[in-house]
Structure formats: structure tokens, C-alpha cells
Amino acid sequence: MRNSKQHRVAIITGASSGIGEALARQMVFEGFDVVLAARNTDRLEEIALDLSKNTANILIVKTDVTNPTDCQNLIRETILRFRRVDVLINNAGISMRAMLRDLDLDVLHRVMDVNFWGAVYCTKYALPYILEQHGSIVGISSISGKHGLPGRTGYSASKFAMEGFLESLRIEHLPENLHVLVACPGFTATNIRVNALDGYGQPQGESPRDELQMMTADQVAKAIAWAIKHRKRDLILTAQGFGVFWLQKFFPSFVDRTIFRTMAKEPDSPFGKPQPDTVTSS
């Protein structure tokens, strides 16, 4: 085993699948010791066993990011094992897909608890140690954190909130050289869409999108690792997302109409096909 004191340490929440799992593999490749945090410890054990073949130091901490005590324990266990934290990647997330008028408000609470409050709790407890290392705090956001998406009110709200939180944190700690990265992967071939909640809080099941046209989790992880290394502040990973980000500054009504028509084409769209008089310019 390597001497963990000689290596940087990265904590990854939601590390049991998808982008989180891919990030764990990528960060080990980059030379980090890695802390895997999620509720599914059986799956974390499988990932850790595979990663340990690369002589990486791996720590597993069962963590429900909606529980502040769990988040505090995650940081405590990391410090006990490695004595430092260099990178915190707030990746744990949950999505939803339903019109607000058809939505149980508990779904909004659940999405905010994971996507926003989970990032707040972990960041709060990790911050002193990351400041010591002039390290990085990463939030895995979405283009829906830049421009609202129909049928994803709760998801968009949670990502807007997280981005505002992280941007404020960056400015608060400018003198301490804190690196804050907001990464927006776009639609990625992971199970977050399969597990997205419907209006009643149940997993929607089969994804409505064609995964062959999406980025893979490994591609996303490589890009995020590059952005951490180069201390980038924002990362938008798709041309579509980049276009939305810039066009909304100058043609917001056009972007709204385009997004509506695009999302309405999804199979089983919660708001159906747009009618000629449904969307008007402003």
C-alpha cells in the first residue's frame, strides 16, 4: 500500500454508479487516494475491490447525503484515515420528470434534499480541510442549472440553488485560493434518468432518451478530472448546453420555445406536443 500522506485525497459522493463510479476510477488514475460515499455499500465494496488492484488507497463510508450527521461522519472518517482532503466532488443526485401541477410536493423536497442540501452539508464539513490544501470543491450540476427545463422544476431549482451556493463560496474565499468548479455534463448515459422520480415520487423506469446519442460516464469523468487539474471554474460539456448558455443571454424567448419543443418530443412527455397557439414570443 502507498503512504496516503504523500498523495492527494478526493471524496466522491454518489460513488456507487454512473458518473460517481467513473470519477472514482478516473481520480485513482490521476494518482488520488479516493473516498467512496454512497448508501449502497455492497456496490462500493465491489468498486473498491476493483480499484485496489491499482494499489490505490480506498476508503468506503456509508453516507446518506440528506443526513447532516452522515456528511459530518464522512469527513471525520476521511481525516482519521488520510489526514487531509484535497478535492470534494458533490456528485450525489436525483432527478425528476413531471409537470408541477401533477407533482406531489414531497418530490420537490426529496430532490432538494439530495441535490442541494447534500452538497451544502458535505461542503460545510469538508471546507476547513480543503482550505488547508488550497484544494477544490466540485458541484456536478446540469444545463438545467443554467436555464430551467420544463418537466424538471424541482431538478432545475436544486441545480440553480447549488450553483448559487458554490459561486458565493468561491467569492467568499478568494483570498485563500479556494478552487470551485461547477460542471454541467448534459444528458449522460447513466441510471439517474431511470431512477428519476415521477410526479408521485416513484422511479420513472426506462429512460425516455436514446442513450446512444449521449456522453458516457467515463467521458464526463475525464473532462471533470481535467477541469480540476487546471482549476477551471465552469465546465459545460455539450455543444447543445453551451448554445443554450450563451443564446439565453441574448434571445431568452427563442431559447424557451426551442427547449419546449425539444422536450415535448420526448416519449411520454409530461406536457405533450406543442400546439401552434401554446407558445408565443414575448
- What H or E segment, with its residue span, contains residue 20? helix 18-29
What are the grid coordinates assigned to 40, written together?
Answer: 449502497
Distance CA(62)–CA(158), nearest Å, equals: 23
Distance CA(239)–CA(23), nearest Å, equals: 22
- What H or E segment, with its residue span, contains residue 136? strand 136-140
pLDDT on residue 277: 41
Q: Each residue's pLDDT tens digit in the chain (282 positions)?
A: 344 446 899 999 999 999 999 999 999 999 999 999 999 999 999 999 999 876 679 999 999 999 999 999 999 999 999 999 999 999 999 998 888 888 899 999 999 999 999 999 999 999 999 999 999 999 999 988 888 888 889 999 999 999 999 999 999 999 999 999 999 997 655 555 566 876 756 676 665 555 555 689 999 999 999 999 999 999 998 767 767 777 778 888 887 788 788 777 777 777 654 444 444 333
- Catalytically active residues are 155
pLDDT on residue 251: 81
pLDDT on residue 3: 44
Distance CA(144)–CA(129), nearest Å, equals: 30
pLDDT on residue 71: 98
Distance CA(125)–CA(146), nearest Å, equals: 26
What are the grid coordinates assigned to 57, written together?
Answer: 488507497
- Give the Å distances, CA to CA, from 6 to 3, 46, 74, 229: 6, 25, 21, 17
pLDDT on residue 1: 37
Q: What's the topology of domain 4-264? A: Rossmann fold (3.40.50)
What are the grid coordinates assigned to 261, written together?
Answer: 419543443
Residues 6+ apart with CB under 8 A from 46: none
Distance CA(267)–CA(269), nearest Å, equals: 5
Parse the chain into domains and list their residue ranges: 4-264
Q: Any bridge partners for residue 61, and if so which? A: 37
- What H or E segment, with its residue span, contains residue 34? strand 33-38
Residues 6+ apart with CB under 8 A from 217: 18, 19, 21, 22, 188, 189, 190
| CA torsion angle 14 35 70 232 (round to 10) | -60
pTM: 0.85
Nearest-CA neighbor of 123 among 80, 172, 82, 157? 172
pLDDT on residue 281: 37
| Secondary structure (3-state) at 3 | coil
pLDDT on residue 227: 98
pLDDT on residue 37: 98
Compute φ and ψ for 203, nearest 5 degrees.
-60, 135
